[in-house]
Amino acid sequence: MNNSNLKSIDGALKDHYASKSLSDKQLDYLIAMQEMALAPQASVETSVGPQQATEIDSKSGLSRFLPDFRGYRSAFYATACMLAVCLVVTFSLINQPTLSQRIMDEIAYNHKQDMPIEIESNSVDDVRKYLNKLSFPIISPSALVKANWQLLGGRYCSINGKLAAQLKIKNLENNNIYTLYQAASESGIEKSGATRLTGMIDGIDVSIWREKGLLLGLASSP
């Protein structure tokens, strides 16, 4: 070791630390940060160049508009997430088909399946006795004039997840085969206030209505 280069440790440390300085860019950023904090409404461009201002903006993000944003950043994100979830749920509920629409869709589907009848009879009593697992007795709908319709038979089916009756009937005027559905009345239909709803679903003409406390549906192919 060359002793001629030795210097006191305090002097050596002073020189060592004196050689350490912030760069101009770092100093500009720290000063601009202070100016923004002291005058939040002032534009950053007044104190630093446009390029530096862009860098500052990108670093501070929302803090530029909300100085204390960091303090409740988690709460902000949690609230935003909850709001997004609420919007998705609300949107899906709004777009969900109504109960009446779902029942009409199901009747159209059942009609298209064209399942064979389980009991073949022209007598409502016979069909009623066979379909004894229903929670209600099947009826002769007043909407269908008896003289124009002939009962061919019936079978069990499902309407809105509940056991229901599917009756096959024939229109004697045009010999078309219809399916008539009878199910325990749905509260959603009662609230709708509509006496009869009709619609064309997948090429099937469907109508539903309430009668004698039951939900009735009629489907026919064109």
Question: Which residues of this protein are in contact with another protein, per CB under 8 A?
Answer: 1-2, 5-17, 20-22, 26-27, 29-31, 33-35, 37-38, 67-68
Whichever of 5 and 132 has its CB closer to another protein, that residue is 5
Sheet with 162-171, edge to edge strand ranges: 119-120, 149-159, 162-171, 177-184, 214-220, 204-211, 196-201
Alpha-carbon dihedral of residues 11, 16, 21, 23, nearest 10 degrees? 150
Q: What single DSSP character describes residue 117? A: P
Q: How far is the CB of 49 from another protein (least distance, A)?
A: 17
Whichever of 24 and 203 has its CB closer to another protein, that residue is 24
Whichever of 13 and 194 has its CB closer to another protein, that residue is 13
Whichever of 30 and 177 has its CB closer to another protein, that residue is 30
Q: How far is the CB of 14 from another protein (least distance, A)?
A: 6
| Other CB atoms within 10 Å distance of the CB of residue 169 | 22
Q: How far is the CB of 77 from another protein (least distance, A)?
A: 20
Q: Quick one: how far is CA 119 from the chain centroid? A: 42
